[in-house]
Structure 1
Amino acid sequence: MTAGQTVSGRLASAAAAVARDGLSGELRHDVARRVLDVLGNSLAAVDQPAARAVSTVVAAWGGAGQATVIGGGPRLPAATAALVGGTLAHSLDFDDTHLPSVLHPSSSVVPAALAVAEATGGTGHALLDAAGMGIEVTVRLGMGGYDRRLGNSVFFDRGQHATSICGAVGSAVAAAMLMGLDEKGIADAIGIAASMGAGLLEANRTGGTVKRMHCGWAAHSGVVAAELARSGLTGPPTVIEGRFGFLHAFCGDQADVDAVVAGLGVEWELPGIFFKPYPCNHFTHAGIDAALRLRADGVTPDDVVELELGVPTPVLRTIAEPPEAKARPESGYHAAFSGPFTVASALVGGGGLGVGHEDFTDEASRDERRLALAAKVRCVPDARCDEIFPNQFPAVVRALLRDGSRREVRVDVNRGGPGNPLSADELAQKFRTNASHRLDGADAAKVAEAAYALPTGGSVSRLMSLVGS
């Protein structure tokens, strides 16, 4: 790090440069795909209980109608619309993932950017530039909490939801850019938002729906932080690297300050962020792919005597513990965080791109065929998976069959990332499936067209009008 420059100052300087000069065409196109992905995930979640709970609460808050609510309803103040939007975006755990930070950056930043862009009359270019920079800041902060010696996120190891903690700051950067704040104003927004980020991961283990609104709170916090900075509130200049700053407070001596700014403005994390093919915790995806391969090879649930799911050791806490809860999840949402249930669903036969929303309904979580198969799954640490994690979330499935034979399928590279990307057709299928919960085929096509028009001057207000009815 250059002497005399604080981390928030360098982040603000890079953001101001992007606001002035714009992202490259390639990066703008990448962000446009993420905007469409967030909108699809959000449309699919409109009727989820957590989203309804947040919408009910904010309806009583009032305020000027500045921004559209995805899925319909009265227009809301930008910060409130961001709260609803971020909750929707993260509710089904279908949001994009950065590795190895294990962050879902778009689900907070994109809703914040959409709300502020609409409220301020921002252009499509401005939206993409702000969202892209906000996403970049989010994952770089996440990398500041990644311990290379442990091969794991310090945030995650301590039970902290880095997605929402770092997402509050990234959302503030995006919001500040769209509000036209100068470099100092952006730095102040960062400094303010750093006091707002929060989120615990215990719900992944033992239940509760609060995690679904973490990205909403991060988006809301980011917009509020930018509004406060615009009105004169200031943040500490050393808020990221200081003794009582962001990284030390959350990660202690394991924080890597230099990782936040290394190659800033030149090397972009943004294009390498994974799109999810399945609406469930990302740690379960390689196990799903392995089970799908077994199914494609002719293995049926009735053939199975026992299954062993090998995963990286740190993953066990999320998808395998406590074992009794993972074998019989209490709801469809909790089923999405279960290694045994997701493997069983893939073998039974799922929807979507192999496993879909219908596999994570409350009714599906009570399906005795799935539960009987899930009870045969034993989750274990796997040495090879440990070597690869968290640059990928690998898995191996070993099956003992009734005829006495054994099968093993190992998946080292996740679908949806640079090493195994989703095709344009697969991304389109994912959006259509998500959007079908609220839109017919023709209207879904209009949303996709409007999102992909953003890099060439498309209208933010038109895009939001299509998803707000």
Structure 2
Amino acid sequence: MTTTTTIVEQLADFTQRSAYDTLPAAVVDECKRIVLDSLGCALAAVDQPKGKIGIDYGAWMGGVAGDATIIGTDQRVSVVGAAFANGELINALDMDAVVPPGHVTPYVLPGALAIGESLGSSGQDLIAALAISHEMSYRLGKAMDYLRDTKDGKVSPPKIYGYSSTVFGATAAIARLKGSGAETIAHALGIAGSISPVNSQVAWFQHAPSSTIKYLLAGALTQAAMAAAHMAELGHRGDFQILDDREYGFPRFIGTTRWEPERILSALGHDWQFPAEQAYKPYPHCRILHALLDSLNEIVDQNELRPDEIDGIKVWVEGFVEQPVWLNREIRHVHDAQFSIAHGIALGAHRVPPGKAWQDPELVFGESVMRLMDKVEHAVHPDYVALLTGHAASRPARIEVAARGQTFVGERRYPKGSPSPDPASYMSTQELVEKFRDNARDVIPEANIARVIDAVLDLENVENIASVMADVRPGKR
């Protein structure tokens, strides 16, 4: 390639030239944190319905003698089977990391892990691929409609939304690990845009009890990225103009009304932007409830409140959640519990430490939780728009708990896990380590847990990431 004129070509050039030794230390550190958190989320989900289905389908499509690991199992299957299963596992509990446009990691990491393991890639190679995929996904997300849009001082969420744009970052990560040249990468990105899944997330918001596909089946997008990267390598041509053509290209057919390509390209490769908004989730529940749960935990712990002492709970939430998936009180499946406002607050009042235990069916469907759910009511936070426009990390939340003839009040602007002006909201690497330990416990041996933590936190010195993937299998080496 002698010129880099289209957006696709410039993204391909960025992908090829962003080697590990060009990355700022903060980017390297964030990539390691993402890997550790994601492996833990996947391990925690091996016995969850969505996780088990992902494992079964990944094994079915991936054969029995492959060279890529399904996390939390002793199965090594093809790269396509492992990528599908691991995407589903990472996202099953809804406690995986988030960065604009939303859940990025379960779409972009699984293909890179599978390809990297099969090729014997180094930790530095994986870090570079992960940095590229997250930066690209973040920039595309910022160029498009926002889920938490406001207009004229009011909540104004888009009518079409989703994470389909992560297909570009997912494809770039695979192509980077395979050592593809810039022209092949450009073709791969052009193909990826043409075969990306549709943005069906808003339909999912509107239909409750909800589909367990959620906002976008992670496994399906990993397959689109795999196909795009390999088809380009085999000789297929991609559409280099697909991101430049607003009238007929990706912005049009994927449904965004905002398209700001300068957000994609400005200082690309020099100004790494995603770490500033990379957030982590202590709770296996939609991020909209986390600040409320932080306050609720503080109230019930400090006052040692029992669920049967609580007469009522009122919460004030973000404005865009006035939609069926969050308003739902008909909990048929553990995944319904990951989004219901009333159920999440009721469960949080039971003083169960945040983590995978929150998805235990005995707790989710327990009589005490279901009874308390009927005592939960909500309203939109009156300052939601003002606080959100003041800082993007804002998740304004207020809670009032009526118990023992008193009203206990809590208020938060930033939930735990978000980088924000409040240092207390940042989730430290040590806190992520403890989250990983909890998620991995009883899934892989304790010795494996320790080795994974040590290896991932020193990922830049790992010669072959297959050694890390061997330790996320239950059997001992």
TM-score by length of 2: 0.88
Q: Does structure 1 retain, via aligned residues, the 8 Å contact 2:393–2:414?
A: no
CA distance in 1, matches of 2:366, 2:145: 38
Number of the residue aligned with 1:217: 220
Asked whether 1:256 is paired with 2:260, we answer yes
Q: Does structure 1 retain, via aligned residues, the 8 Å contact 2:36–2:433?
A: no
Give the direction of change, closer, same or farther, for the CA distance of 1:155–1:309 in structure 2 (3 Å limit). Answer: closer
Counterpart amino acid of residue 329 in structure 1: I
Counterpart amino acid of residue 32 in structure 1: K
Number of the residue aligned with 1:306: 312
Counterpart amino acid of residue 427 in structure 2: L
Give the direction of change, closer, same or farther, for the CA distance of 1:267–1:58 in structure 2 (3 Å limit). Answer: same
Farther off after superposition, 380-389 or 129-138: 380-389
Give the direction of change, closer, same or farther, for the CA distance of 1:229–1:312 in structure 2 (3 Å limit). Answer: same
Q: Does structure 2 retain, via aligned residues, the 8 Å contact 1:42–1:85?
A: yes
Asked whether 1:268 is paired with 2:272, we answer yes
Q: Does structure 1 retain, via aligned residues, the 8 Å contact 2:4–2:13?
A: no
1:212 to partner: Cα distance: 8.3
Q: Deviations over 1:36-77 (max 9, x none)?
A: 111111111112222332333343435671312212244222
1:307 to partner: Cα distance: 1.9
Report the 3-state secondary structure (helix = DSSP H, G, I; strand = E; otherwise coil) of the residue aligned with 1:410.
Answer: strand
Number of the residue aligned with 1:15: 15
Counterpart amino acid of residue 412 in structure 1: R
The alignment of Structure 1 onto Structure 2 pairs a total of residues equal to 454
Q: Tell me which of 315, 323, 334 is aligned to 1:317.
A: 323
1:414 to partner: Cα distance: 1.5
Asked whether 1:25 is paired with 2:25, we answer yes
Report the 3-state secondary structure (helix = DSSP H, G, I; strand = E; otherwise coil) of the residue aligned with 2:336.
Answer: helix
CA distance in 1, matches of 2:217, 2:395: 22
Q: Does structure 2 retain, via aligned residues, the 8 Å contact 1:128–1:455?
A: yes
1:334 to partner: Cα distance: 1.0
CA distance in 1, matches of 2:286, 2:372: 19
Number of the residue aligned with 2:362: 363
1:129 to partner: Cα distance: 0.2
Identity %: 26
CA distance in 1, matches of 2:449, 2:21: 32
Asked whether 1:422 is paired with 2:437, we answer no
Q: Deviations over 1:237-290 (max 9, x none)?
A: 121231222222223432322222233222223323001111111111111112
Asked whether 1:232 is paired with 2:231, we answer no
1:332 to partner: Cα distance: 2.0
Counterpart amino acid of residue 443 in structure 1: N
Give the direction of change, closer, same or farther, for the CA distance of 1:370–1:9 in structure 2 (3 Å limit). Answer: same
CA distance in 1, matches of 2:157, 2:6: 26
Counterpart amino acid of residue 284 in structure 2: P
Q: Map 1:43-192; keep pairs closer than 5 Å.
A: 43-62=43-62, 65-98=66-99, 101-147=100-146, 150-151=149-150, 157-158=158-159, 160-162=161-163, 165-192=164-191
Report the 3-state secondary structure (helix = DSSP H, G, I; strand = E; otherwise coil) of the residue aligned with 1:209.
Answer: coil
Give the direction of change, closer, same or farther, for the CA distance of 1:312–1:87 in structure 2 (3 Å limit). Answer: same
CA distance in 2, matches of 1:458, 1:121: 8
CA distance in 2, matches of 1:50, 1:212: 13
Which 5+ residue runs of structure 1 have no aligned equivalent?
Answer: none
Report the 3-state secondary structure (helix = DSSP H, G, I; strand = E; otherwise coil) of the residue aligned with 1:217.
Answer: helix
Report the 3-state secondary structure (helix = DSSP H, G, I; strand = E; otherwise coil) of the residue aligned with 1:210.
Answer: coil
Counterpart amino acid of residue 318 in structure 2: P
Give the direction of change, closer, same or farther, for the CA distance of 1:37–1:130 in structure 2 (3 Å limit). Answer: same
Number of the residue aligned with 1:349: 351
Asked whether 1:432 is paired with 2:431, we answer no
1:155 to partner: Cα distance: 12
Asked whether 1:287 is paired with 2:313, we answer no
Report the 3-state secondary structure (helix = DSSP H, G, I; strand = E; otherwise coil) of the residue aligned with 2:61.
Answer: coil
Number of the residue aligned with 2:411: 410
CA distance in 1, matches of 2:279, 2:61: 36
Report the 3-state secondary structure (helix = DSSP H, G, I; strand = E; otherwise coil) of the residue aligned with 2:379.
Answer: strand
Counterpart amino acid of residue 326 in structure 2: A
Report the 3-state secondary structure (helix = DSSP H, G, I; strand = E; otherwise coil) of the residue aligned with 1:218.
Answer: helix
Which 5+ residue runs of structure 2 have no aligned equivalent?
Answer: none
CA distance in 2, matches of 1:86, 1:425: 25
Report the 3-state secondary structure (helix = DSSP H, G, I; strand = E; otherwise coil) of the residue aligned with 2:195.
Answer: coil
CA distance in 2, matches of 1:416, 1:148: 19
Counterpart amino acid of residue 37 in structure 1: D
Give the direction of change, closer, same or farther, for the CA distance of 1:149–1:397 in structure 2 (3 Å limit). Answer: closer
1:396 to partner: Cα distance: 1.1
1:31 to partner: Cα distance: 0.6
CA distance in 2, matches of 1:443, 1:282: 30
Number of the residue aligned with 1:399: 401
RMSD: 2.5
